Amino acid sequence: MTTTEKKLSDVLSEFASTMLTDFPIQGILDQLVRRIVEVMPITGAGVTLISDTTSPHYATASDSTALQFEKLQTELNEGPCIVSYRTGNAVAIADLREERRFPLFVPRAIEAGLLAVFTFPLRQGEKRLGALDLYRDTPGPLSHDAMTVAQTLADVASAYLLNAQARADLADSYARAHATSLHDSLTGLPNRTLLLERIEHALLSRRRSGKTVAVLFIDLDKFKKVNDSSGHQAGDQLLVAVGARIKAMLRPGDTLARLSGDEFIIVCHELDAETLVEGIAARLSEALSLPFSLGGVAVELSASIGISFAEQGDDPEQLLHRADMAMYQVKRKGGAHHQRLDVREQDLMDYRESLQ
The DSSP H or E segment spanning 267 is: strand 263-271
Pick the more confident residue, 254 or 181: 254
Q: What are the pLDDT digits (tens) for 260-281? A: 889 999 999 888 888 898 889 9
Indicate the pLDDT class of residue 220, thresholds 50, 70 and 90.
very high
Contact 88, 131 (CB under 8 A): no
Which candidate, 96, 100, 102, places its Cα nearest to that of 75? 102
**Cα 66 to Cα 68: distance, rounded to the nearest angstrom:** 5
Report pLDDT for 161. Answer: 77
Q: Is 137 a catalytic residue?
A: no
**Cα 111 to Cα 107: distance, rounded to the nearest angstrom:** 6
Indicate the pLDDT class of residue 91, thresholds 50, 70 and 90.
very high
The DSSP H or E segment spanning 220 is: strand 212-220
Report pLDDT for 247. Answer: 94
Pick the more confident residue, 9 or 73: 73
Q: In DSSP terms, which residues pair with 257 in a beta bridge?
A: 265
- What's the pTM value of the predicted model, to 2 decimals? 0.55
E strand segments, 51-167: 57-61, 91-93, 116-124, 127-136
Residues 6+ apart with CB under 8 A from 125: none
Helices (DSSP H) in 232-274: which residue ranges? 232-247
Indicate the pLDDT class of residue 20, thresholds 50, 70 and 90.
low
Residue 252: phi, psi to the nearest 5?
Answer: -55, -35
Residue 155: phi, psi to the nearest 5?
Answer: -65, -40
Contact 330, 306 (CB under 8 A): yes
The CATH superfamily holding the domain 3-180 is: GAF domain (3.30.450.40)
Indicate the pLDDT class of residue 142, thresholds 50, 70 and 90.
very high
Which residue in 221, 254, 262, 314 is the catalytic one? 262
Q: What are the pLDDT digits (tens) for 284-313? A: 999 999 999 887 888 888 899 999 999 888
Contact 88, 121 (CB under 8 A): yes
DSSP 136-195: ESS--PPPHHHHHHHHHHHHHHHHHHHHHHHHHHHHHHHHHHHHHHTB-TTT--B-HHHH
Contact 63, 30 (CB under 8 A): no
Which candidate, 127, 132, 131, 121, places its Cα nearest to that of 163? 127
pLDDT at 100 over 50: yes
Instruction: Calculate what percentage of the chain has a pLDDT beyond 90.
Output: 44
Contact 134, 117 (CB under 8 A): yes
Pick the more confident residue, 77 or 347: 77
**Using CA of residue 185, residue 256, residue 338, residue 314, what is the dihedral sign?**
positive
Pick the more confident residue, 97 or 15: 97
pLDDT at 356 over 70: no
Q: What are the pLDDT digits (tens) for 28-84? A: 788 778 888 888 889 999 998 887 776 667 788 999 999 999 999 989 989 999 999
Q: Which of 40-44, 216-220, 272-276, 335-339 shows the lowest mean pLDDT across its residues? A: 335-339
Domain segments of the chain: what residues? 3-180, 192-355
State the fold for domain 192-355. Alpha-Beta Plaits (3.30.70)
Report pLDDT for 40. Answer: 85
pLDDT at 346 over 50: no
